[in-house]
Amino acid sequence: MDIKPMLMNVFLVFVHWSIVLLFSPLFIGVIAKVKAIFAGKAGPPVFQPYFDLAKLFRKHSVYSRTTTWVFRGAPIVSFAAVLVLSLVIPLGMFKAPVQFPGDLLLAVYILSLARFFMISAAMDTGLSLEGMGASREAFFSCLSELALFMNFITLALLAHNISLSRMIGADIPMSWRTFGPALLLVVASFFIVLLAENCRIPVDDPDTHLELTMVHEVMILEHSGVDLAYMLYAAAAKLFIFAGILVPIIIPVHTGHPVTESILFLGGTLGLAILVGIVESSMARLRLNRVRNLLLFSFALAFFGFVVTKWRG
């Protein structure tokens, strides 16, 4: 077997990972900066998440005596799962290193795997608050998965393909002119899913540390040091990957020029980060029992998009 294409593939995988790892903390930093500006504060520098992660990576982890290997394994699994997930998502000029028909199912199930381990680790600590957070996470993700799948089905119908790279990638001439109405709904619905899956404000406040109301934060409450760093890095990378799915749908420009496409992708991601920051500054967190309705609303939008797509043929 020829060794050269294999080496090339390995190289592409590492390029993909380095993009995700390099830019994802910046995404979080931009959101924090926008929120600070809206609140009339100077706020931490945009690169603060990098410093936080570097600090955590230098620390040791502390483990409770009641925890088992599940607790220790969860950070690694969620971090690895996000890295594997990033391989099926095209990022700007770089096509997805792994693509096959039906890889959207792989993407959703890898997300579920990471979530399963997070929930198990939260239950493993035996802390009742973590159990509450885990139950909420499980409940919300059930509903957001519904909307996520509906969006993917609509995109697959539009692109006549069930591979993520062909649905959202640069390969198909998906333009707003022909598919505009359905895409409008998909974008709105996917944006809600993005906020819900990544525990941003209308669903969960990432800044709060009130045990009774938080969802994601309470699940990583017992993790410390390196483990916490992996968890935070995984969360940031997940947000970046979701943005990586949404941005090519909003800006379906295929210039074929690598530099332009990279600038467009990164600019779009930056814009999305600013948008998330604006949403977080202008909204309050929803009451817990209303999150369900928000996710159902997102599903209804996705379903509407699906209906319009079928109608248009």
Partner 1 sequence: MVPWIDASCILIVFFSLTILATYRISGMIQVFAVQSFVLGLMPFFLHADALAGRDVLIALGTILLKAALVPYILFWAIRHVSMRSEVKPLIGFGTSIICGALLIAGAFWVSLSLKLPGKPGSDLIFPCFLATVLLGFLIMVTRTRAVTQVLGYLVMENGIFLFAVSLFDAMPILIEMGILLDIFVAVFIMAIVVNHINEEFERSPVSVSRSKMGET
Backbone angles phi, psi at 91, to 5 degrees: -120, 105
Nearer to partner 1, 69 or 311 (CB): 311
Nearer to partner 1, 233 or 304 (CB): 304
- Per CB under 8 A, the list member of 50, 116, 149, 297 interacting with partner 1 is 297
Residue span binding partner 1 (CB under 8 A) among the ranges 36-44, 66-74, 151-159, 292-300: 292-300
By CB under 8 A, residue 292 contacts partner 1: yes
- Supply 245's token pair: 């799915």
> How many residues touch partner 1 (CB under 8 A)?
22
Q: What is the C-alpha separation between 224 and 299, in angstroms, rounded?
A: 36
- Per CB under 8 A, the list member of 6, 62, 105, 307 interacting with partner 1 is 307
Shortest distance (Å) from residue 290 CB to partner 1: 7
16 touches 87 (CB < 8 A): yes
Angle made by CA atoms 248, 263, 46, in degrees to the nearest 5: 100
By CB under 8 A, residue 81 contacts partner 1: no
| Site pattern 162..191 for partner 1 (x: CB under 8 A) | --------------xx--xx--xx--x---
Shortest distance (Å) from residue 285 CB to partner 1: 14
Q: Which residues bind partner 1 (CB under 8 A)?
A: 176-177, 180-181, 184-185, 188, 290, 292-293, 296-297, 299-301, 303-304, 307-308, 310-312
